Amino acid sequence: MDGVPIAPTWFVLPLAAIAMILQAGYLLALRELPRGRMPPSRRRIRVAIGWLSLFAIPISAYGFGIATTRDPGTFAMVWMVIIALIAMILMLAVLDTINTMRLHRNENDRLHKDFRTALRSDIDGHQRKKRGSK
């Protein structure tokens, strides 16, 4: 197995090219999204994840389809970089989840406040109406 990549190069490189095209398309779609459609904090996190993924794809392709154990230093360095990039992507995904929960909580609080305000004004209007008919 010495000197042989983990996966066949003919399989890994075209797959990585397709993944990079799709990831670049995702980043372009995020950029073209109208400003009001996504909260800015969510957009920033997802753009960062997109760029990290765009860097991770070719390095992962190199690690799977080109790097061999014939040069153990390079092989180990490539895989440490891949693991670090994946860890950063996962941390940003957790941050995106926490941010989504925060945005949901804020929206819920706003909706509850609007509901209480509407209910109070409806009750006040109903009470004025009752006083006016007496």
Q: Report residue 51 as tokens.
A: 């760029």
pLDDT (tens digit per residue) in 41-97: 999 999 999 999 999 999 999 999 999 999 999 999 999 999 999 999 999 999 999
DSSP-derived secondary structure letter, 35: G
Q: How many helices (H) and strands (E) does the chain have?
A: 3, 0
Q: Classify residue 100 as exposed, middle or buried by CB count within 10 Å of its CB (0-12, 13-18, 19+).
A: middle
d(CA 99, CA 46) in angstroms, rounded, equals 11
- Global pTM value: 0.82
Report the amino acid identity of residue 58: P
Task: Report the pLDDT value the prediction gives residue 2, as an integer from 0 to 100.
Answer: 75
Query: What span, in angstroms and rounded, lies between the C-alpha atoms of 51 and 8?
Result: 26
Q: Which two tokens stand for residue 100?
A: 């989504």
Which phi and psi angles does 33 have, rounded to 5°?
-65, 130
Domain ranges of the chain: 9-107
pLDDT band at 1, cuts 50/70/90? low
Q: Any residues with CB less than 8 A from the CB of 117 and at least 6 apart, and which?
A: none
